[in-house]
Amino acid sequence: MALRSLEGDYGMKLDQYTRQHALGNIIWPRYTLLYNSDLPDIVKELKNRNLYLFDLWGYVPGSGPGGYWQQFKVPQKTLDLFKNELGDRWLGMDNGEQDGRYISTFALQFYPSGSARERQYLNFQHHFEGLSDRLGNKMATLVSLNYGHYFLKEEVYTLIGAETAQGLPNTQIYYSFIRGAGKQYGVPWFGNASVWNRWGWKNYVGNANNNGGDTKGTSLSLLKRLMYNHILYNCVAVGFESSFFDKNDQLSPIGEIQQSAYAWVRKHGQPGVMYTPVAIMLDFFSGWTFPRHLYTSNIYRVWGNIPYDRGDYMIDGILNMFYPRYQDASYFHDETGFITPTPYGDVADCILSDSPLWLLNQYPVLILGGKLNGGNALNDKLEAYVEKGGHLIVTA
């Protein structure tokens, strides 16, 4: 993934990113493209170059008017233009970091705040139905927590991925949930590593705003490891969000990492199917998420407003067994927790209890995490899984 802006001389920018420096073939621009007077010409240029238009970002519910983020409705004629001209190379609007924003802002507004988890799911679902309706119901999601299953269930998503590093959670568990959701609903996944952290951002053009600089933000070491992690996780697209060039318009160290990764993939192709023999099953209505994270100062909460119960602590314990100290991601300057040493390897996918039997049968080992509801239907499904030779681990 490459270009994040088509403002100004878009032909020159497309040449620079996709041809001169070979950084990728996916264009990931800000929502302002929708209102560009040259939009038909830009779309025609993307079509002629066989580029993908992906995940137009910048929509935030409740924002505006003015400011960097906006709430808006995509004009139908624009959606028709993308569909008719780009076809399958139009990958949809952005549901970006919105699960985190929902937890931080909207979950606490519902009354009563501590209502049952089923009610919490319906609140969540209603919120995101409105979001996808306003954006045209062809979507890609960049999750900021682990609620991707609920998005993909709507069958309007082309891709699912996560922004890693920054002030965000552990990448291994991120992609455990993403793989589980993607496999269930047949949606491929992508990878994105951020140049930001909690204390600043990395750039090579001398921009000191928001504590920027070439020694700030995510380390080059972590950025490179995340890039290749995502490739090995079978992501269909990977990339960074900015800082590809220095003040002389030459490739920065970040640009060189992406250029090398793109060349490596073109030379070697996919690295093979990632082997994940273990599935960890959570209840569909669980709403479980990381014990602490960027979007709230309230720790140990599900759905943003309900304290962990014993089952939720159990899920945390199981994940901590596979990925020790994963909870530390983003809280330490030494980048502890983003990629943790694991005694078992990256072997687990996280799934929900509505997973069909054909999906369960792909995993030799199934671990039940937390409290599960589902009655006889779930019981029959688990019995059928065991009868097919699966190993079911239950902790009473």
pLDDT at 94 over 90: yes
Give residue 384's identity as a one-letter amino acid code: A
Q: For residue 396, is pLDDT > 80?
A: no
- CA 319 to chain CA centroid, Å, is 19
Q: How far is CA 316 from the centre of its chain?
A: 20
CB 280 within 8 A of CB 319: yes
Q: Once rounded to an integer, what is the mean pLDDT over residues 13-27? A: 95
pLDDT digits (tens, 9 = 90+) for 336-347: 999 999 999 999
| pLDDT bracket for residue 117 (50, 70, 90) | very high
> Per-residue pLDDT for 10 more than 80?
yes
Please report the pLDDT score of residue 262 as a whole number: 95
* 191-248 pLDDT tens trace: 999 999 999 999 999 999 999 999 999 999 999 999 999 999 999 999 999 999 999 9
Residues facing residue 201 across a β-bridge:
196, 212
Write down the pLDDT at residue 38: 96
Side chain identity, residue 164:
T
Residues 6+ apart with CB under 8 A from 264: 231
**Rounded to whole angstroms, how far apart are CA atoms 184 and 62?**
32
* Helix/strand/coil (H/E/C) assignment for every residue in the chain: CCCCCCCCCHHHHHHHHHHHCCCCCEECCEHHHHHCCCHHHHHHHHHHCCCEECCEECECCCCCCCCCCECCCCCHHHHHHHHHHHHHHECCEEEECHHHHHHHHHHHHCCCCCCCHHHHHHHHHHHHHHHHHHHCCCEEEEECCCCHHHHHCCCCEEEEEEEECCCCCCHHHHHHHHHHHHHHHCCCEEEEECCEECCEEECECCCCCCCEECCCCCCHHHHHHHHHHHHHCCCCCEEECCCCEECCCCECHHHHHHHHHHHHHHHHCCCCCCCCCEEEEECCCCCCCCCCECCECCCCEECCCEECCHHHHHHHHHHHHHCCCHHHCCCCCCCCCCCCCCCCCCCEEEEECCCCHHHHCCCCEEEECCCCCCHHHHHHHHHHHHHCCCEEECCC
| Alpha carbons 226 and 215: distance in angstroms, whole number | 18
- At 1 the pLDDT is 78
pLDDT digit string, tens, across residues 288-326:
999 999 999 999 999 999 999 999 999 999 999 999 999
Q: What is the mean pLDDT of the chain?
A: 96
Task: Write down the pLDDT at residue 228.
Answer: 98
Please say if the pLDDT value at position 357 is more than 90: yes
Residue 2, pLDDT above cutoff 80: no
Are 237 and 180 contacting, i.e. CB atoms less than 8 angstroms apart?
no
As given in the structure block, the two tokens for residue 137 are 């119901």
- pLDDT tens digits, one per residue of 236-283: 999 999 999 999 999 999 999 999 999 999 999 989 999 999 999 999
pLDDT at 68: 84
Q: What integer pLDDT is reported at residue 355 of this predicted model? A: 98
What is d(CA 6, CA 193) in angstroms, rounded to the nearest whole number? 21
Q: How far apart are CA 379 and CA 384, in angstroms?
A: 9
Looking at residue 64, what is its pLDDT? 78
Residue of 81, 78, 75 whose CA lies nearest to 134: 75
Chain segment 361-383, per-residue pLDDT in tens:
999 999 999 999 999 999 999 99
The pLDDT value given to residue 110? 85
Q: Give yes or no for residue 66 having a pLDDT over 90.
A: no
Question: Residue 86 has what pLDDT?
Answer: 98
pLDDT digits (tens, 9 = 90+) for 121-160: 999 999 999 999 999 999 999 999 999 999 999 999 999 9
Question: What is the distance between the alpha carbons of residues 19 and 237, in angstroms, rounded to a whole number?
Answer: 17
Q: pLDDT class for 65, splitting at 50, 70, 90?
A: confident
Band (327; pLDDT cuts 50, 70, 90)? very high
pLDDT beyond 80 at 99: yes
Q: How far apart are CA 288 and CA 303, in angstroms?
A: 7
Sign of CA dihedral 160, 165, 167, 171: positive
Cα 334 to the chain's mean position, in Å? 23
pLDDT attached to residue 151: 99
How high is the pLDDT of residue 341? 95
Please provide the distance, in angstroms rounded to a whole number, between the alpha carbons at the two ends of the chain. Answer: 45
Q: In this predicted structure, what is the pLDDT of residue 113?
A: 77
